[in-house]
Structure 1
Amino acid sequence: MLKLLGLVIVVLIVALVVFIRTRPDRFRVERSALIHAPADVVFSMINDFHQWGRWSPYEKLDPNVTKRFEGPRSGPGAVYAWSGNNKAGEGRMTILESRPGEFVSMRLEFFKPFAATNQGTFKLVASEKGTHVTWSVEGENTLMGKAISAFLDMDALLGKNFEEGLANLDAAVQAETPKPELEARAPSLKVVPAVAH
């Protein structure tokens, strides 16, 4: 009986490993939102890691997190490293490329609770009502990532954080810039007068 039980356990473990290995090799999570501010205002809040404490949902994971900034204050080469509790973990973000009012790309390195390197991107598109921001992260699905994704919906889990972060970003930029200034800096609408017949 014990021999049969042991055999069943081995078969289940092998089946689980095989299932985990069939999970996708790469992942991508993306969310978009309208931020009610001009693209240059939104860009400055994303392109400067010193501003992330005002809107990033990950900042509240550990109020006592240790932060370290390196390189230039903003733009390519700017680095934000952190070390915190089990929820915050330990890692580093480095801005690789940025185009004012359009795009910020960064490398995301995680050291704890487990190692991973991903690509983070913010795309900004100006509109008459503000700026459409798309926040995405993608990378290789490690064996640990595949195992986690077999039991948790990572898109829903990370996506919820992105949605919260974009809502926070909207609130932060509106608090940063007085409404009359936002309206003055918003793209103007061309009004074509009616022609009398």
Structure 2
Amino acid sequence: MKIIKYLFFLLLFAIIAGAVYVFTIDGDYQVEESKVIEAPDELLFDTVNYFRTWEKWGPWMEETDDMIITYADKVSGPGAYYSWKSETEGDGNMETVKVAPFSSIDQKITFITPMGESVSDVYWKFEKIEPKKTKVTWGMKGTQSFMEKLYWVIQDSTLSQSIKPMYAKGLNNIEEYVQERMEAYSISVDGVTEHGGGFYMYSATASDIAIIPEKMKQMLPTVDSYMYQNNLPKTGMPFTLYNEYNEEQGTAIYSVGIPTRDKVITPQESAVLCGFMPRQKVIKTTLKGDFKNLEEAWDKTYDYMAKNNLEALENGSPFEVYRVDPNIQPNPAEWITEIYIPIK
């Protein structure tokens, strides 16, 4: 009997000592992972902010095939909410508490466990490094209850060691998901139509074909600024007019312009001039997607002309109109460019 009592008191002492040890463990925790992703901050923010995308990149969704997700009516912005049930991953819910567009998102996550509900704060930070490069940080912080601390004491890994690899995997998944979205594009040869023409303000130059995009980025703000300073109304979207395009020599003469309502007399020394485009019969093609697909869109347009015995107007100047561009939409897959080739 004395041995039994001794063992009992020894066990009791071990339990008390263990409880004291667990009690003294700091329950505050913070876990985060960061990754630099080649994508605009607006697009990454929108992806995380919209809960229905989480099924596409969420790391825990890949761990099980029995997860049932239920969405509230609101799935983005403050008050957005979804919950999940899974025998292998457990049950829980997530709610967006606060957003600062394109820079941060604060959320609250609740895990429903046999020990009760465990609530933590989830945060996202989006730091623009370059126009198409963003540092994304995904973190979670909170305070563990006594039972939660006890649970992690008897595990092979800590809470941080368990969460960090999943966050890293999730950020990799976001990168793949967003880059796949940005690569999507479509080309539609819309056929013969009529372009209304009209007056436009423009800046012209000549350069190697390879640096046209770089030149356009310099020229368009110049035209835009001139129109703003002189209170000239914009009656259409920006465009590039190709006066000459010599693929053999790799050079081009072109103008970057913005439509305006009336004819404008500019000072003799002005770098921005006023031009007029006539009403004309054209072949129209629409590219939805990144500008890097423009070459294919032009090729398809000329192929269509050849198959349908359509001839380009001898003195006509083809042009591109940028209906939706990076200033309007951060996702390149949503950019819309219209190609017009004047025909006889």
Same fold, TM exceeding 0.5? yes
The total of aligned residue pairs comes to: 185
Q: Deviation per CA, 1:127-146, whole angstroms, max 9, x where unpaired?
A: 12611011111112111221
Gaps of 5+ in 2: 185-288, 293-324, 331-344
1:1-197 mapped onto 2 (5 Å cutoff): 1-85=3-87, 87-114=88-115, 115-128=117-130, 130-151=133-154, 152-178=157-183, 181=290
The answer as to whether partners of 1:71 and 1:77 remain within 8 angstroms in 2 is no
Distance 2:69 2:6 in 1: 53
Query: What is the CA distance between 1:100 and its match in structure 2?
Result: 2.0
Query: What is the CA distance between 1:46 and its match in structure 2?
Result: 0.3
> Which amino acid in 2 is paired with 1:80?
Y
> Which amino acid in 1 is paired with 2:177?
A
Q: Deviation per CA, 1:27-82, whole angstroms, max 9, x where unpaired?
A: 11111111221101111110011000111111123312111111323111111111
Distance 1:126 1:181 in 2: 20
Distance 1:5 1:11 in 2: 10
The answer as to whether partners of 1:93 and 1:109 remain within 8 angstroms in 2 is yes
Q: Answer 1 or 2: higher relative contact order, Cα 8 Å, separation at least 6.
A: 1
Distance 1:66 1:73 in 2: 16
Report SS of the residue matched to 2:178.
helix
Distance 1:46 1:113 in 2: 29
Query: What is the CA distance between 1:148 and its match in structure 2?
Result: 2.5
> Which amino acid in 2 is paired with 1:150?
V
Q: Deviation per CA, 1:122-166, whole angstroms, max 9, x where unpaired?
A: 000011261101111111211122113324311111111111111
Distance 2:291 2:19 in 1: 54
> Which amino acid in 2 is paired with 1:181?
D
| Higher alpha-carbon deviation: 41-50 or 176-185 | 176-185
Segments ≥4 residues shifted beyond 2 Å: 148-152, 179-186
The answer as to whether partners of 1:90 and 1:113 remain within 8 angstroms in 2 is no
Query: What is the CA distance between 1:98 and its match in structure 2?
Result: 1.2
> Which amino acid in 2 is paired with 1:157?
S
Report SS of the residue matched to 2:126.
strand
Distance 2:164 2:129 in 1: 23
Greater fraction of residues in helix? 1
| Higher alpha-carbon deviation: 126-135 or 44-53 | 126-135
| Higher alpha-carbon deviation: 101-110 or 140-149 | 140-149
| Higher alpha-carbon deviation: 98-107 or 175-184 | 175-184
The answer as to whether partners of 2:59 and 2:169 remain within 8 angstroms in 1 is yes
Distance 1:66 1:79 in 2: 14
Q: Deviation per CA, 1:11-36, whole angstroms, max 9, x where unpaired?
A: 11111100100111321111111122
The answer as to whether partners of 1:38 and 1:182 remain within 8 angstroms in 2 is no
Report SS of the residue matched to 2:290.
helix
| Higher alpha-carbon deviation: 99-108 or 43-52 | 99-108
**Bigger Rg, structure 1 or 2:** 2
Identity over aligned pairs, percent: 25
Report SS of the residue matched to 2:76.
coil
The answer as to whether partners of 1:49 and 1:73 remain within 8 angstroms in 2 is yes
Distance 2:73 2:291 in 1: 31
Distance 1:100 1:177 in 2: 20
> Which amino acid in 2 is paired with 1:155?
S
